Chains A and B, each alone.
Chain A
Amino acid sequence: MAGEIEAVIIGVIVSGMRLMTPVLFAALGEKIAERSGILNLGLEGMMLVGAFAGFMGTYITGNYVVGILMAMAGAAALALLKGFMSITIRTNQLAAGLAIWLLGTGLAALMYRLTFGVQAVAPSVELMPKIDIPGLSTLPGIGPILFNHDPLVYIALLLVPATYFFIFKTNLGLKIRTVGENPKQADALGVDVYRIRYLAVIIGGAMAGIGGAYFSLVQTGYFLENVTGGTGWIALALVIFGRWKSYWICAGAFIFGMVDSFQLGLQATGSSLPFQFLLMLPYLIPIAILAAMYKKAGAPAALAIAYKRGER
């Protein structure tokens, strides 16, 4: 009995790790963008474009790396447009983000159908294989949890300390943070505020693209319209919950992954609660967490405010 329970728990955690990966990619990327002062509501759209582009790339070449690169490129292009609207033209960042969200959603679905049409058997790609880390993956308990995943999981986990290091321990990261807190100061000290913001938002977009590609290349093997199912929005909530810090965002993503995995597991074991309510949990929990936080502490001071040189 104990062994069974243990197996179930391990199973839930393993699956949770996989469920948390796309949202972790997107949230870490968005954290970098928001640290420079750009709020990107279009995250969901960028992820969908990434899901499509990743699928296309892999489908055509049979190579996952190409797929990932295309996912990054597609999402980054959308991010560039968002950057153009928010940094150079200085439109309202919320409106620009919403436009990008809908554009990305529409484009991804449109391009998919135009390319593949309606087929009896939907085109698919082989799921990305898992990598066994020799030796470590056979450790009891920890083994399957940490060492038996597809490469993107590892990359996502590595990105947590990597983004932390980038933002807090490099000069470029310091520039990004200063631009997000006090762009006037950065400008007076010779930092190119516009360039830094463009850089940050494109990095964020590229990472969101990988997150989106995860859905098509690892979780399903297909491209489905709206396959991301709100993940981009949850990533936005996670950035707030994580107070713009990588490790906290990772913790939040982990919680999200566990909740999702848990409710899926409950569905599988035939719980009496209708499965739709379980499916609601991943959406309700972030809202509840935000309410419990009560006061948003630590937002970059210049978040979502456009900067113009010489403005008093």
Chain B
Amino acid sequence: MSIISALSQTRDKVKDVKFFVPFASASLAFVAGAIILGSAGVDVGNAYAIMFRGAFGSVFGFGDVLLKTTSLILVGLAVSVAFRCRQWNIGAEGQLYMGALGGAIVGISLIGAVPGIAILAVIVVSFIFGSLFALVPAVLKVKFGVNEVISTVLLNFVAFLFIAYLLHGPIKAPGFNPYSPEIFDESQMPIIFPGTRLHAGIIIAGLATVGVYYLWKSKIGFEIRSVGANIKAARYAGMNVGRSVLITLGISGGLAGIAGGLLVSGVQHVLIEGISPGYGFVAVIIALLGRQHPIGVAIVAFFFSVLMTGSETMYRSLGIPGAFSMTLQALVLVFVLVGQLFVIWLSRRNGRGVR
């Protein structure tokens, strides 16, 4: 009898829809992933065990999880800020790269500066680079009505190519490889946990989360949110829509830029093509799942970092490609979106009005 009552209590808690849908979606995604792997002859239990161990089984592994969380929180916040104003910024990856460029330029130019100042410079410059790059599609949208989905996506490729050009020419370090020269020590983020690759950037990510949280409490944030929620009501309230779009995309690009700068300064210490394994694209999923709340974004970012880190281990041990984690992430999003139907069905049963 008690088991049943305990089960029904859990069922009631789980029925709280806010938690149920994401939880169920994640589970379903893992099931779907298992089916895909299974059909290719992979021992699924073993694979998932390796994935779990990769993320949680060692200090280094968990350090890597937190390392990825740093990047994913920043890009996730970047995209979610844009989404809150209903601006579909799919260009976070390109903005990240431009930020990385900015960080690298600081890193390889500044010698003899006080370490704290150098790092600060890296962050500021990478923010600026990313922000300016995002302002291009922003201005195109405000002045010319160019659909920002298309412009931000295509500009990603422009950014990649630009960086490639620089790395094969102007910024190339001597030698055969298309890297930039290594950045000087003062611009390198310190490792905060020995035995891992985890650097102080995670503090920056945390600060960014807090920052975005307070952004939404500010006057500007109120305008941005209103424009995103109901543009008619915002106009009626006298808000300046164009200005909100520019500010939003500027912040969005800047945050993505910082992510790029930290990748250079904290992990690779050089600028290199492929420095990001598609963080900017995953960020789109994170932003959609995080429901535009910075804490939600951080939680999803963490979960996805676990996926990506574990997935890397699966690749090393079993040869399962990194695309597996992207597929899982996309599946979670699909299930969550489909789950909306379930939510509406539930609220109809409870007699509340449907919106």
Contacts and interface: CB of A to CB of B under 8 A. Distances in A.
Given A114-B40, A233-B154, A290-B150, A279 B161 contact: yes
A291 interface: yes
Given A114-B40, A274-B165, A96 B337 contact: yes
Interface in B149-189: 149-151, 153-158, 161-162, 164-165, 168-169
B213 interface: no
B285 interface: yes
A146 interface: no
Nearest to B160: A276
A2 to B, nearest CB: 34
Contacts of B120: none
A229 B323 CA distance: 16
B42 interface: yes
Nearest to A99: B333
Contacts of A114: 36-37, 40, 42, 320-321
Interface in A220-250: 225, 229-230, 233-234, 236-237, 240
B229 interface: no
A94 interface: yes
A240 B147 contact: yes
B337 A103 contact: no
Contacts of B282: 102
Majority SS at the chain B contact face:
helix
A213 B169 CA distance: 35
Chain A interface category by residue count: 35 or more
B158 A283 contact: yes
Contacts of A296: 145, 147
B340 interface: yes
Nearest to A95: B288
B127 interface: no
Interface in A96-116: 96, 98-100, 102-103, 105-111, 113-115
B330 A284 contact: no
A123 interface: no
Contacts of A234: 154
B337 A95 contact: yes
Contact of B333 (A102, A283, A290, A294): A102
B191 interface: no
A188 interface: no
Contacts of B111: none
Interface in B291-348: 319-321, 323-331, 333-334, 337-338, 340-341
A222 B294 CA distance: 42
A177 B284 CA distance: 32
Contacts of B129: none
B23 to A, nearest CB: 18
B330 A99 contact: yes
A102 B284 contact: yes
B62 interface: no
Given A237-B150, A287-B150, A294 B161 contact: no
B119 interface: no
Nearest to A115: B40
Nearest to A226: B278
Contacts of B207: none
Contacts of B210: none
Majority SS at the chain A contact face:
helix
A185 interface: no
B341 A89 contact: yes
B170 to A, nearest CB: 10
A40 to B, nearest CB: 12
A4 to B, nearest CB: 30
Contact of A110 (B90, B147, B327, B341): B327
Contact of B323 (A41, A113, A286): A113
**Most chain A CB inside 10 Å of its own CB: which residue of B145, B150, B329, B330:** B330
A276 B329 contact: no
B340 A117 contact: no
A240 B334 CA distance: 27
Contact of B155 (A99, A107, A287): A287
A219 interface: no
A233 B285 contact: no
A58 B146 CA distance: 40
A122 interface: no
Contact of A118 (B153, B165, B319): B319
B337 A276 contact: no
Given A274-B169, A295-B145, 6 more contacts: A41-B149, A99-B337, A102-B329, A102-B333, A280-B158, A287-B150
28 contacts: A41-B149, A89-B338, A89-B341, A91-B337, A91-B340, A98-B285, A99-B288, A99-B337, A102-B282, A102-B326, A102-B329, A102-B333, A107-B330, A109-B326, A110-B321, A113-B320, A114-B320, A114-B321, A230-B154, A233-B154, A234-B154, A240-B147, A274-B168, A280-B162, A287-B146, A291-B140, A296-B145, A296-B147
